[in-house]
Structure 1
Amino acid sequence: MDQQKLRTLVFEKTGIKIDVDDPVFALVALNEAVLAEAVERHVALLDDATADLADQADALLAAGAVCRYQGGAAPQAAATPQRAPAPGLSHAERRMMALAAGAALLCATLVLLGQALLFRPAPPPAATVIAKELTPEQALAIRNGEKMAKIVQKLDQKTRNAIQAEMQKP
């Protein structure tokens, strides 16, 4: 375990600097020990499985099974003869296959039609019209409102309060 290499790796991945005396290295050492033990267990299991497989292959060879190895292909046992494929399908089998294909096409068509009818997308919302310019009435109302605000500021406090109270009413 190269601690400097681990420190550099941690810094590159996380941006965190760790010291060589950091307790995280104790966890790394513990992890290595546990991993080594697990690897030893798995290697022992693989060795046992390989030995069992070799024993089974020896038993097959002793029973008279002949294995032919063809290049990159897996070995094949020649003890069991291969069945020749059927020369063709009978009329009844062809009819059954045609019925099954027809039923599959009918089901697929029904599913697609059902989806098209039942799952229509929601219509897009109605377009909102936003005026780019104010109408003459709107411009006049704004001008009148600005004039009214200037006039109200010139009135006495009691009258301004009364106007404000009236404006608050619905």
Structure 2
Amino acid sequence: MVVDPHKLRSHVFDKTGIKVDTDDPIFALVALNEAVLAETVERQLAVLNAATDALAAQACAAGGLPPPATPVTVAMPATRWFTPREWRLLGAAAIVSLACALLVLGGAALLWHQP
């Protein structure tokens, strides 16, 4: 999935009225974002495929599915679910979500108990 710089340039201009050149550093950021996203999607697909194969093997062993035409491997891939950076980002997102929820609940409690 490669973003067309000219299409992205016109989209930015339509949304913000700001003209950016195709040599602008923002396009390097877009390319970096695409690369990170592609790598993360590949890792998650590998984990999902391994889990699907393991589930199919369990269903076959329990008699829920007919045996597959080729043997199913149950071994999980060597890749991890998330990288340490992704775990940190998930943790930060969880903390922010909890703080926002507490802020909303606190505001509702203050409004509810007014005389």
Give the TM-score normalised by structure 2.
0.53
Q: 1:53 aligns with which of 52, 55, 63?
A: 55
SS at match of 2:14: helix
User: Are residue 19 (structure 1) and residue 21 (structure 2) matched?
Assistant: yes
CA distance in 2, matches of 1:59, 1:38: 32
SS at match of 2:62: helix
User: Are residue 42 (structure 1) and residue 47 (structure 2) matched?
Assistant: no
CA distance in 2, matches of 1:9, 1:49: 39
How many residue pairs were aligned?
66
Output one character per residue of 1:111-135: Cα deviation in whole Å (capped at 9) or x when no partner. xxxxxxxx9x9xxxxxxxxxxxxxx
Which residue does 1:112 correspond to in 2? Answer: none
Shift of 1:42: 0.8
- Counterpart amino acid of 1:17? K
Shift of 1:35: 0.4
- Counterpart amino acid of 1:47? N
CA distance in 2, matches of 1:17, 1:44: 40
Unpaired segments ≥5 residues, structure 2:
66-112
Percentage identity across paired residues of the two chains:
63
Q: Radius of gyration: which is bigger?
A: 1
CA distance in 2, matches of 1:9, 1:54: 44
Q: Runs of 4 or more off by more than 3 Å in structure 1?
A: none
Which residue does 2:68 correspond to in 1? Answer: none
Q: Larger RCO: Structure 1 or Structure 2 (Cα < 8 Å, ≥ 6 residues apart)?
A: 2
CA distance in 1, matches of 2:58, 2:10: 50
SS at match of 1:36: helix
- Counterpart amino acid of 1:21? D
- Counterpart amino acid of 1:59? A
CA distance in 1, matches of 2:15, 2:39: 28
CA distance in 1, matches of 2:54, 2:15: 45
Q: 1:10 aligns with which of 12, 15, 23?
A: 12
